[in-house]
Structure 1
Amino acid sequence: MSSQDIPEENLPSTQDEVHGGAVTTKVADPFADPGMPPHEHRIQDIDERAAKRSERAVAFLFLLSMLATVGFIASYVTLPVDKIIYVFPIGHISALNFSLGLTLGVALFCIGAGAVHWARTLMSDVEVADERHAIAAEPEVKAKVMADFREGAEESAIGRRPLIRRTMFGALALLPLSGVVLLRDLGPLPGTKLRKTAWSEGKMLVNQNTLQPLRPEDIQVGSLTFAMPEGMKEEDHDFQKEIAKAALMIVRLQPDNIKDKRELDWSVDGIVAFSKICTHVGCPISLYEQQTHHVLCPCHQSTFDLSDGGRVIFGPAGHALPQLRIKVNDKGYLEAMGDFAEPVGPAYWERG
């Protein structure tokens, strides 16, 4: 293909130059930078009434987002989980799921649409070309960046458009409440459930194997007995949940071997009762060493000294085993004088 076949308007332009009497022809750069196109003003730039209309439109979108967020929370609180509705063309769907999805979608969309409309109609749209520079900017460049930032903030009109500013902050402040409300789906609030067990004043200690109330003479020195509160039955629907907190281990020590004064005061003739639940991750403790009075958790080898307030002497457990205060009632049976003074298991790190 020869140059004669190329349209004349597509050929690079030429320019003749004279150097010392000789004429040379210089071809212009076909890829020269054309520069920035001339800036065209928007209607909002020259008409304040149009700018006010855009401002009201943006504020309306932010207000609609706020209302949708309130609707999300109201739907979550008021709509039952099992309510089914028909929505065309989806079909039958959970009213709660449909309402939550619709309101949250509207809240997010309106914030995004409001921000886009704000940027396209009210913020400055003047294109600025700037030279690239090294990553480690000079102080002059940093100062220019900060100046550009301040200029951009001024040109965004956020200071001169209080209606937009307030409604945007309101929409952004309300939207996170949707996520906070959803935290309720983690389960019901625990209340005092972690602090309370099935033990209470006057409840007799029942042997977990024979299901018979325990007398002091039933506990031999060196033996380990597992007990539970009277009234609990394995066929109860909440038995596993309750026994997981109330499981008790009972040992009989020589009173002279008990080092902790409170432990001695809470015991009966050397019989001490401690929670069976390890304070590390809640495993049941079942290994007892008679000579040292130590109990060992089989999961991670946390070791507790039952002669010294159930304190930890080895392993990852962070707390001593809670002790149950016991006495002998009028019928000669062992009974609790209340609940554990501390939460059982790994319920809390700080137990003050």
Structure 2
Amino acid sequence: MPEHQSRMSDRDPKAAKRAERQVVLLFMVSILGTIASLIFYFAFRPDGTTAGVRTSTLSLGLAMAFALLGIGLGAVHWAKALMSDHEKVDERHAIASDAETRQGAIAELTAGADDANIGRRGVLKGAMISALALFPLTIAVPLVSSVGGDWNVSKLKHTMWEPGTRLAIDPSGRPIKAADVTIGSVVHIIPDVEAAERETHEWITEKSKAIVLLVRLDPRDLKADQSPAGETWSYDGIVAFSKVCTHVGCPVALYEQQTHHLLCPCHQSTFDVADGAKVVFGPAKRPLPQLPITVDDEGYLVAQSDFHEPIGPSFWERLK
């Protein structure tokens, strides 16, 4: 074993006391972060606007970050500066130890605890226990307060797409014409709504279900151009599919032009756009739902209807 290098906190009682105060301060930061998160949770409730959601999320995130960071840094600094750091060697032996060996192990643990002066550092212990005890409130309070919320799962079966709704480019919201889409191009699509509506919290929630990826292929490359009922769901090689992966809901947005494959970046589920977005690789079990589209009198791309099946991952009341 190399020669043991003692720390300043081992040589200087003042340095040890200073390190102890630093650890206590870090645990106090965690306690204050927990208290702040509870205050922010009730003070900055989302008010239905994008700014309100942003403020609520930012304030909660920062407070919880300080609450958890204080615990982590405090524990690390305590271990580095105050706990025993003497090197020890244990010979490998059989799992079952005799009584004498077990007593020796207990004695070593007791000596390590005594060396760390845990028993004589009441303020430090109190700060650590308080921080650990209070931090779960940052998670428990929001969870408990959300009990009794909206559990209407029928909302998962429908999106805001309606017959005649124009397809608009995300995020600008500009309606798109079929003539604007060239073969091989990919466009991120959202429903066309008024600009004021796009600033509401409800719009953000509904948009997350209605996001679509629009791709134009050579019509000759389409293997599945029609719905199971025989209706045409594409327009001149333009197809639209839900961006919400049917595995766990990640956004599917990586398009391989040569293979016509859509790739989910989370778990590599791969879908064939030319064949009804069927799964060709990965953990997803269902094709991406297709949005039936056509054009209106002005040449703008519009939805024929909503998706004909729920988008995203399976859930308990899904029939297929």
Instruction: Give the TM-score taking structure 1 as reference length.
Output: 0.46
1:321 partner amino acid = L
Q: Alpha-carbon deviations, 1:5-33, whole Å to 9, x = none?
A: xxxxxxxxxxxxxxxxxxxxxxxxxxxxx
Provide the residue aligned with 2:293 in structure 1.
326
Q: Alpha-carbon deviations, 1:225-246, whole Å to 9, x = none?
A: 0111111644112222111100
- Residue 280 of structure 2 is aligned to residue 313 of structure 1: yes
Shift of 1:351: 3.9
Higher deviation after alignment, 185-194 or 275-284:
185-194
Rate the CA distance shift 1:209–1:240 in 2: closer, same or farther, 3 A. Answer: closer
Partner Cα separation in structure 2 for residue 348 and residue 338 of structure 1? 22
- Residue 238 of structure 2 is aligned to residue 274 of structure 1: no
Provide the residue aligned with 2:172 in structure 1.
210
For the 8 Å contact 2:291–2:307, the answer to whether it is kept is yes
SS in 1 for 2:309: coil
Shift of 1:261: 3.9
Q: Alpha-carbon deviations, 1:103-151, whole Å to 9, x = none?
A: xxxxxxxxxxxxxxxxxxxxxxxxxxxxxxxxxxxxxxxxxxxxxxxxx
2:175 partner amino acid = P
Partner Cα separation in structure 2 for residue 205 and residue 297 of structure 1? 22
Provide the residue aligned with 1:73 in structure 2.
none
1:185 partner amino acid = V
- Give 5+ residue unaligned stretches, structure 2: 1-143
Shift of 1:348: 3.4
For the 8 Å contact 1:277–1:283, the answer to whether it is kept is yes
Q: Alpha-carbon deviations, 1:279-329, whole Å to 9, x = none?
A: 111111110000110010001111000110111111111210000001110
Percent identity at matched positions?
Answer: 48
Shift of 1:186: 5.3
Higher deviation after alignment, 226-235 or 319-328:
226-235
1:212 partner amino acid = R
For the 8 Å contact 1:280–1:318, the answer to whether it is kept is yes
1 or 2 for the larger relative contact order (CA 8 Å, sep ≥6)?
A: 2
For the 8 Å contact 2:179–2:299, the answer to whether it is kept is no
For the 8 Å contact 1:253–1:271, the answer to whether it is kept is yes
1:282 partner amino acid = G
- Residue 154 of structure 2 is aligned to residue 187 of structure 1: no
2:164 partner amino acid = G
Structure ID, larger Rg: 1
**Higher strand residue share:** 1
2:222 partner amino acid = I
Rate the CA distance shift 1:186–1:225 in 2: closer, same or farther, 3 A. Answer: same
For the 8 Å contact 1:343–1:351, the answer to whether it is kept is no
Partner Cα separation in structure 1 for residue 199 and residue 302 of structure 2? 23
- Give 5+ residue unaligned stretches, structure 1: 1-181
For 1:247, which of 170, 189, 211 is the aligned residue? 211
Partner Cα separation in structure 2 for residue 291 and residue 284 of structure 1? 21
For the 8 Å contact 1:208–1:228, the answer to whether it is kept is yes
SS in 2 for 1:272: strand
Number of aligned pairs?
170
SS in 2 for 1:250: strand
For the 8 Å contact 1:275–1:324, the answer to whether it is kept is yes
Rate the CA distance shift 1:331–1:261 in 2: closer, same or farther, 3 A. Answer: closer
Partner Cα separation in structure 1 for residue 247 and residue 148 of structure 2? 23
How much is the aligned-residue C-alpha RMSD, in angstroms?
A: 2.0
Provide the residue aligned with 2:185 in structure 1.
223
Rate the CA distance shift 1:275–1:283 in 2: closer, same or farther, 3 A. Answer: same
Provide the residue aligned with 1:291 in structure 2.
258
Q: Which runs of 4+ in 1 moved over 4 A?
A: none
2:192 partner amino acid = E
